[in-house]
Structure 1
């Protein structure tokens, strides 16, 4: 009897265990369905969603190959309407067909057309990560500018075609042109305002404007932008003579042995250009404009730039909101410098005050005048004293990262400067490691020289690294001992 009861109990436990195992297997399978394929949205998914929605509305859709653009690199893309019969296929994976691929015709029967209709619309959408800022502009909308107009816009940091450009919102922008206006989308200029960005491009041809990106990608819609406040009128700079005298006193207090003023009268629109022959060495040009006595007048806000005559190489630029402009640069040899300006309040007197510092001794000239001026500029920008001895180490390098080991004397300080010799520089950095200490300096936007000071305690060597990025740059490194 007891044996029978034990047998029944064992059978009941086995049945319960089997039921629990089946339930656990079911839960595991359900969990695999829910977490095995997590929801994910990336750039390619967004482009596929746009292409699928436009295709379902009857448009002929094509996706161009993805592109990647660095800041400062303008890319012009040729935009061709998707051929007849091309469509983005919304399959199980939701991935749109590539450009030129044939697929099912849309609901409107667009695939049956022999070619683009006269009233058809052409749409091109650019999608990037949401943090990327960029602009679009049909290339045919840009016109020729006069030299003065181009100068005015460059100095103010403005683009005369800015109102024709389409700015991205949360990494997305689209252009729609219908009828004869489709020809303006033959080539589209893409400019990246962020450091860099990857882009997906979707092109659609439809009988009318397709669904807006904001409706397809609501997560990219931004809220309303608050209006800018009114800061009021700019502050008056004061009498011209007092400002010129103040600039000269400031330069002499910083060790400038000579300050040479030069004046001219601006045009009726407040523009003009100085052309001055300057000796070798470092210069600070202060541009100051007279304030008219009339009650109603334009604000005084001089913007200027300095360029080498002949080559047109930019030496410095001032686009600040200050009433006066200031330009700092160094010349490795005497030369003529052109200084165009704008922002004066009409045909008033404009003064250029040139504060001059001599070329520091022991700055080598055998690398060329450009390198000599850039090395001197690195010394002056870091307020380093003039070297009193020849460089203990020199090196020449090119694009990329270059490690330069240097022997140093314990208990002594040094200054290392890297300067562009030729080519175009987009970024220049010099860094040094001495023991467990490190320091670095960047040339900054438009700069062609960088310098860093360092000292050795007990170390007998230092590791210097120069990083250069640009268009075929060639640089030189000099290391001077400092007292």
Structure 2
């Protein structure tokens, strides 16, 4: 019976994927026809299946004065590219592709990216997937001129752009002391039991690293640059990585002189915080606000699962839970569906935490007649959570999708108050 159910899931996933792949193949065929009609010679065509963050090279081809490279994916898939001549260093091109910001990088729009150049300008092309995963259809053509825009041929034209609005002058940057005081007060109002300040200093290029020994609990890190209005536009970005079975990555790349990173750990852990965009040689302050792990988070699945569940629940609840979950189950990589009983008029929160392995993104979905709720998280995230209310006693259906290597997870459910 188990083998039959596994085959049923596999076959349903296969047939569900076919329409999307078929549409993509149809678009690729239309592009080939448009290139041929434009007098260009098709030099290469291939399909690539790429995971998030992976970089792939489009092999060099010869023929014609000009080269056009057209890459298509599903509309909701995003990817980027860099181009260069044969003399450009490959490592420099890949570094520009992976950098937080680069003027050399091109971004896809509606799942399409068209690159063209003559005289060997785009002899080298590198692609990088920025979605969780996806299929890329690559078509390379040569001719005496570059290819015409193909977005209309496949119905991917973004249409005219609205004129840019006037955003006005930059907001005034308050003093570091004022920003520290506000962040401290906000954290304590949210339930932080302790707030510590750790100082660092930026290098001449605005980069820096601060290492923090974080005790078990949930931490809110405020990374603040000592900037003034005289420093011009200050955009501080920060990132932390928690190692242990699989890396948990938290980033803040907003446009502000401060960055905020939230993470939970099940035991004392050294956490490196990397920042960029600070004024050269400036003082940088990291405020570490500690929130104790909620009493209702189970600890019998290990530190990593406990931290993941706590982080997930914090996204849905301001405090708690204070009581143990009413339902728990575990699973491995792949997909699993389970049903739970519900009470009419009651609300629930479901949380998913990783115990081991390296998930390539996760998805938690719950269906209660007539509503549904879902959260999908990218690779590098160990948790997901949804909250929902039941209007009937028909129960709820929960589905977990957790692709990856050696993944093991725990799903917990807590009962909340009555719905209004």
Instruction: Give the TM bin, normalised by the shorter chain.
Output: 0.7 to 0.9
Superposition deviation, residue 422 in structure 1: 3.2
Q: Distance in 1 between matches of 2:282 and 2:216?
A: 31
Contact 1:47 / 1:202 at 8 angstroms: preserved in 2?
no
Counterparts in 2 of 1:200 and 1:51: CA distance versus 1, 3 Å: farther
Higher-helix-fraction structure: 1
Superposition deviation, residue 235 in structure 1: 1.5
Aligned to 1:323: 257
- Aligned equivalent of 2:70, options 110, 126, 135: 126
Counterparts in 2 of 1:342 and 1:312: CA distance versus 1, 3 Å: farther
Superposition deviation, residue 163 in structure 1: 1.4
Is 2:101 the counterpart of 1:158? yes
Contact 1:69 / 1:196 at 8 angstroms: preserved in 2?
yes
Q: Write the mapping of 1:130-145 to structure 2, written as runs, cut at 5 A.
A: 135-137=80-82, 141=88, 143-144=90-91
Q: Distance in 1 between matches of 2:317 and 2:196?
A: 22
Aligned to 2:353: 419
Superposition deviation, residue 398 in structure 1: 3.4
- Aligned equivalent of 2:172, options 236, 241, 246: 236
SS of corresponding position for 2:104? helix
The TM-score with structure 2 as length reference comes to: 0.74
Is 2:109 the counterpart of 1:173? no
- Aligned equivalent of 1:387, options 312, 321, 324: 321
Counterparts in 2 of 1:481 and 1:73: CA distance versus 1, 3 Å: same
Q: Write the mapping of 1:266-415 to structure 2, written as runs, cut at 5 A.
A: 266-292=202-228, 296-308=230-242, 313-383=247-317, 385-407=319-341, 413-415=347-349
Gaps of 5+ in 1: 1-40, 82-115
Higher-strand-fraction structure: 2
Q: Write the mapping of 1:37-76 to structure 2, written as runs, cut at 5 A.
A: 43-51=28-36, 53-54=38-39, 61-66=42-47, 74-76=55-57
Q: Distance in 2 between matches of 1:268 and 1:125?
A: 38
Q: Write the mapping of 1:204-219 to structure 2, written as runs, cut at 5 A.
A: 204=142, 210-214=144-148
Q: Distance in 2 between matches of 1:246 and 1:461?
A: 44
Higher-Rg structure is 1
SS of corresponding position for 2:148? helix
- Superposition RMSD in Å: 4.0
Contact 2:236 / 2:277 at 8 angstroms: preserved in 1?
yes
Could you list the per-position Cα deviations for residues 70-116 of structure 1 after superposition, in whole angstroms to 9, with x for gaps in the alignment? 765544343444xxxxxxxxxxxxxxxxxxxxxxxxxxxxxxxxxx8
Counterparts in 2 of 1:305 and 1:387: CA distance versus 1, 3 Å: same
- Aligned equivalent of 1:440, options 369, 373, 378: 373
- Aligned equivalent of 2:402, options 468, 474, 478: 468
Contact 1:283 / 1:354 at 8 angstroms: preserved in 2?
yes
SS of corresponding position for 2:254? coil
The TM-score with structure 1 as length reference comes to: 0.66
Superposition deviation, residue 192 in structure 1: 5.2
- Aligned equivalent of 2:365, options 427, 431, 439: 431
Contact 1:68 / 1:199 at 8 angstroms: preserved in 2?
no
Aligned to 1:190: 127
Q: Distance in 2 between matches of 1:405 and 1:190?
A: 41
- Aligned equivalent of 1:263, options 194, 199, 203: 199
Contact 2:347 / 2:387 at 8 angstroms: preserved in 1?
yes
SS of corresponding position for 1:248? helix
Contact 2:112 / 2:151 at 8 angstroms: preserved in 1?
no
> Higher mean Cα deviation, 228-237 or 348-357?
228-237
Is 2:185 the counterpart of 1:249? yes
Could you list the per-position Cα deviations for residues 202-225 of structure 1 after superposition, in whole angstroms to 9, with x for gaps in the alignment? 444xxxx52321289886888887
Q: Distance in 2 between matches of 1:169 and 1:203?
A: 21
Aligned to 1:24: none
Contact 1:431 / 1:438 at 8 angstroms: preserved in 2?
no
